[in-house]
Amino acid sequence: MALVLESSRPAAKTSTANPSHRSPSSPPPPATTTVVAISFQTAVKSETKNTLQRISSSFHPAKSGRYPVLLFFHGTSIKTSFYSQLFKHISSHGFIVVAPQLYRLLIPPACMELNSAEAVADWLLKYGLEGHLPAGITPDFESGLALAGHSRGGRTSFALADKRTAESAKTNSEVHSSALLPRSGKDLNLSVLIGVDPVAATMCCATMPDVHPETQCFKFDVPAAVIGTGLGGSCAPESGNYAQFFKRCKPPKRAEFLAPQYGHMDVLDDNPPGNGSCFSCVSALMTKCMCKNAKGLSRECMSRTVGGIVVAFFKAYNNKYPDPSDLNAIQNNPGLAPAELVIPNSESA
């Protein structure tokens, strides 16, 4: 029996598992192969009470149904459309992906970025994408919300989870620390938190989110995964890279992955378009020149590997129907992934 994880690397092998079980890195079944991408603009209010216009990208399966939601925050001055390969892969496995453009070229201080991200999360959980999805496509918040981000956006995701956990603890000492935001009078649980090469040691006052003085761990106990790159270099310095985030996540519900042959920007599309607006041109140039990138390797392999990990990690900690089989398969045999993958540390779901 074999669990097929399609890989573009000849060395990829199969491992024992149910043949009917589909891995997150394999091609999706016909029912969910088609993915629909939409863009919409919303007016949200930040903590400073300012009304902010946010343009968001959204990807969802074409087939009608209820799907869990992934809220994804972009990296430094990166256009959200440059993650289309990653978002399409995740969405093809039955997810609604929402990616707000928190800012453009002018990088805000970390606190302002956090406030903006929090405002978007509040809006999402309050209105549930009503009016922005076609009939038949429904967000499934009961399965939980997946929160993720790349680079500086990864730091923002962790900071948001930490902030809301601290606020929940002050309001009600008995509330579960993964309770993120209320919706329709109920607490909505954050299922998982994922950092894609998260970075804390960057410009504009971006620091590592606070930790408990006694434990030196983040305040939240949400299952957390970090995915690092071997060529991060100056774009992901060791003083605040993925490994530092992993160390501060509470065991045992945490996981660490490393793609040693890839760079900090290699989770983006192979050829992000640099035409149109000044923002598109500069952002596209930054993704190609600002950081060290993999040579002679397709970025699609990296985006499919990251997407597979995101899907597998969420499935393992789904609030309603947890299924750790895909996550365990990846951790037990990282050679199944499309890109070379190392597991520096792993804790079974």
Task: Summarize pLDDT for 87-123 with one digit per residue, the tens.
Answer: 999 999 999 999 988 877 677 777 888 888 888 888 8
Examine the pLDDT at 133 and tell me if it is beyond 70: yes
What is the rounded average pLDDT of the residues 19-38?
47
Determine which of 47-56, 246-255, 291-300 has the lowest per-residue pLDDT on average. 47-56
Q: Is the peptide bond before 252 cis (omega within 30 degrees of 0)?
A: yes
What pLDDT is stored for residue 95 in this prediction?
Answer: 94
Band (31; pLDDT cuts 50, 70, 90): very low
Examine the pLDDT at 286 and tell me if it is beyond 70: no
Q: How far apart are the C-alpha atoms of 342 and 331, rounded to whole Å?
A: 9
Nearest to 306 by CA among 193, 226, 236: 226
What pLDDT is stored for residue 121 in this prediction?
Answer: 86
What tokens does 78 get?
């990166």
Examine the pLDDT at 348 and tell me if it is beyond 70: no
What is the rounded average pLDDT of the residues 255-283?
79
Give, as one character, the DSSP assignment of residue 209.
P
At residue 98's C-alpha, the angle toward residues 33 and 150, to 5°, is 100
Band (9; pLDDT cuts 50, 70, 90): very low
Residues contacting 310, CB < 8 A, separation 6+: 24, 70, 90, 146, 148, 194
CB-based burial, 33-63: b 16+ in 10 Å, e otherwise: eebeeeeeebebebeeeeebebebbbbbbbe
Domains of the chain: 30-346 (3.40.50.1820)
What tokens does 71 get?
């809220």
Percent of the chain with pLDDT over 90: 39
What pLDDT is stored for residue 198 in this prediction?
Answer: 95
Neighbours of 296 (CB within 10 A): 5
What pLDDT is stored for residue 277 in this prediction?
Answer: 61
Examine the pLDDT at 171 and tell me if it is beyond 90: no
pLDDT tens digit sequence for 42-57: 555 555 445 444 556 7
Q: What is the mean pLDDT of the chain?
A: 77
Supply φ then ψ for residue 37, to 5 degrees.
Answer: -110, 135
What pLDDT is stored for residue 10 in this prediction?
Answer: 36
HSE toward the beta carbon, residue 214, CA cutoff 13 A: 1
What pLDDT is stored for residue 209 in this prediction?
Answer: 72
What pLDDT is stored for residue 289 in this prediction?
Answer: 67
What is the rounded average pLDDT of the residues 216-229?
91
CB 88 within 8 A of CB 35: yes
The catalytic residues are 151, 197, 264
CB 70 within 8 A of CB 148: yes
